[in-house]
Amino acid sequence: MILDSVLDAHGGLKRWREFSRVRATIVTGGELFETKGLPQDPTPRQMTVALHDEWASVTPFGAPDQRTDFTSGRIAIEKLDGTVVTERADPRASFAGHELTTPWDPLHRAYFNGYAMWIYLTTPFVLTLPGVSVAEIEPLREDGELWPGLQADFPPEIATHSRLQEFYFGPDHLLRRHDYRVDVAGSFPAAQYVSDIVDAGGFRLPTRRRAYLADPAGRPIRDRLMVSIDLSDIEFE
């Protein structure tokens, strides 16, 4: 399986296990947040995620002295001293019946941000976590290259976009594209392209992510940019 080569290309699983968290500066935007009634401003924010369990936090969120506290079973907005402003247990259940145009409240947004950025900042090493099944799939031909693919089947205890997700890698075994269905927003299909890979502490990560609405054949609809993410100052600890 190509997974071993993919892990090595991104910095190596052995080295990954020597670290506990990664933080990065993020700037996000895109049509999805406007559709949800929560347009994203261009303020840079600090995103921190755990590497070996599902936890994430972004600062600031909603106010300069607030941050989020995300796990798969709880989402909270809290003050920087830890005082809880608002929280929601079993946050996934709050998306029941949601379609693409269903408005979100701040806790919906915080939950989405938490699981999405956790997956992005831990790929491809997240594919080695207990309960995640990985299989090789047909490659994609893009930009004159053949991109081999892996499909991941995530267990229910991992909060993420959808149970099944596809990851495609270039000839250098570095991530090029990530496909999934956004179950918390009507299960719309997305094709996310990644680029501008940098070396951060010995790991190679993309700093530019662009997720487009996909058509029924999986092709990106280029004038439907659902989410954009730019990352900088990536540090492992």
70 burial via Cβ count (<10 Å: 0-12, 13-18, 19+): buried
Which has the closest alpha carbon to 26: 2, 10, 38, 44? 44
Q: Are 218 and 141 in contact (CB under 8 A)?
A: no
Range 86-110 average pLDDT: 98
What is the model's pLDDT at position 232? Answer: 98
Domain span at 178 = 3-236
Structural domain count, the chain: 1
Query: CB neighbours of 99 closer than 8 A, spacing ≥ 6?
Result: 185, 186
What is the model's pLDDT at position 214? Answer: 98
Taking only the tens place, the pLDDT of each residue in 180-218 is 999 999 999 999 999 999 999 999 999 999 999 999 999
Residue 1: pLDDT band by 50, 70, 90 thresholds? confident
> Which CATH number fits the domain that encloses residue 185?
2.50.20.10
What's this model's pTM, rounded to 2 decimal places? 0.97
What is the model's pLDDT at position 105? Answer: 98
Counting residues of the chain whose pLDDT is more than 90, the rounded percentage is: 99
Residue 17: pLDDT band by 50, 70, 90 thresholds? very high
What is the model's pLDDT at position 9? Answer: 98
What is the model's pLDDT at position 219? Answer: 96
Angle among Cα 210, 192, 112 to the nearest 5 degrees reads 85
